[in-house]
C-alpha cells in the first residue's frame, strides 16, 4: 500500500504541481488549501508524513503544527517556508516540526526529505530497552521514562534521545547527529540541533533531576550518567 502524504499549500498552482509530482513518485497524496483542511483530513485518515506550508490564510502552519502536537499527534511534519531567516526556521522546529525546507526548492530535495521522514516512521527493530542512570528508553514502544515519570516526546525528540542513549558515553558530532536524525547536515550555523537538545533537557531535568545530555563544545553532544 502506498505511503500517504497530507500536503497543505494555499497557492493552487503550487499545490497541484507538487501533488502531481508526489503522486508520480508513488505516494498517495491528500492536498488541502489551509490549516482547517489539515485538521479535517487528520481526523478522517492519518497520514505517514505531513508537508505543511508555513504561510497560509486563516490558520497558519505554525498554529497547525502546535495544535497537532498539543493533541499528541506525532506524525512527522516537514515545514515548507519562503522565509529564509534562521529565526523563522527555528520557530517552525519550536512548534514541533521535524524538518524544514526553504522555498524555492528542488523536487529531488523534497523527495529526499520525505523519504527520510518515512524511514524514521518505520520501526521494524525488535523490542529493546536502553538504560542510562534512571533513564529508560523502550525502542519498540517508542516510549521513555525518567525514573517513574514518562517523558512526552515528539518523534524527533525520541529519535534524538534514542541515538544518544544507544551511544551512551560516546561524543557524537553535530554532523553525525544531523545525518542520523535528519539525513541532512544543516551546517555549522544551524540551530536546529541545539533547539531539540534544549527540548529534551527541559523535559528530562524536571524537579532538579541530574543532567544526562552534555555539550562538548566545538564537537557535539554526549549522554552520560552523572
Residue 77 CA to residue 89 CA, distance in Å, equals 13
Sorted by sequence, the CB contacts under 8 Å of residue 20 that are 6+ apart come out as: none
Percent of the chain at pLDDT above 70?
A: 91
Q: Each residue of 204-214: pLDDT tens digit? A: 999 889 999 99
Q: How confident is the model at residue 3 (pLDDT cuts 50, 70, 90)?
A: confident
Residue 204 C-alpha cell reads as: 528530562
Q: Each residue of 111-146: pLDDT tens digit? A: 998 988 887 665 444 447 889 999 999 887 889 999
Residue 129 C-alpha cell reads as: 530497552
Does the pLDDT value for residue 93 go beyond 90?
Answer: no
Q: Are strands 4-8 and 28-32 parallel, antiparallel or unpaired?
A: parallel
Q: Which domains does the chain have, with CATH numbers?
A: 4-120 (3.40.50.2300), 129-223 (1.10.10.10)
Q: How confident is the model at residue 1 (pLDDT cuts 50, 70, 90)?
A: low
Amino acid at each position: 500500500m502506498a505511503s500517504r502524504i497530507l500536503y497543505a499549500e494555499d497557492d493552487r498552482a503550487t499545490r497541484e504541481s507538487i501533488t502531481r509530482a508526489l503522486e508520480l513518485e508513488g505516494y498517495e497524496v491528500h492536498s488541502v488549501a489551509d490549516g482547517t483542511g489539515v485538521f479535517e483530513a487528520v481526523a478522517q485518515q492519518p497520514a505517514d508524513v505531513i508537508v505543511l506550508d508555513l504561510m497560509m490564510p486563516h490558520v497558519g502552519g505554525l498554529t497547525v503544527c502546535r495544535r497537532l502536537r498539543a493533541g499528541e499527534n506525532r506524525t512527522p511534519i516537514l515545514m515548507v517556508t519562503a522565509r529564509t531567516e534562521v529565526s523563522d526556521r527555528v520557530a517552525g522546529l519550536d512548534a514541533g516540526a521535524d524538518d524544514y525546507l526553504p522555498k524555492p526548492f528542488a523536487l529531488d530535495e523534497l523527495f529526499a526529505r520525505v523519504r527520510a521522514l518515512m524511514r524514521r516512521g518505520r520501526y521494524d527493530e525488535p523490542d529493546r530497552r536502553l538504560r542510562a542512570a534512571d533513564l529508560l528508553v523502550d525502542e519498540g514502544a517508542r516510549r521513555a521514562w525518567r525514573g517513574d515519570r514518562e517523558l512526552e516526546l515528539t518523534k524527533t525528540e525520541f529519535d534524538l534521545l534514542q541515538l544518544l542513549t544507544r551511544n551512551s558515553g560516546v561524543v557524537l558530532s553535530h554532523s553525525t547527529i544531523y545525518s542520523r536524525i535528519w539525513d541532512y547536515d544543516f551546517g555549522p550555523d544551524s540551530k536546529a540541533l541545539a533547539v531539540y537538545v534544549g527540548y529534551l533537557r527541559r523535559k528530562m531535568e524536571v524537579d532538579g533531576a541530574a543532567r544526562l545530555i552534555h555539550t562538548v563544545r566545538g564537537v557535539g553532544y554526549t549522554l552520560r550518567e552523572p
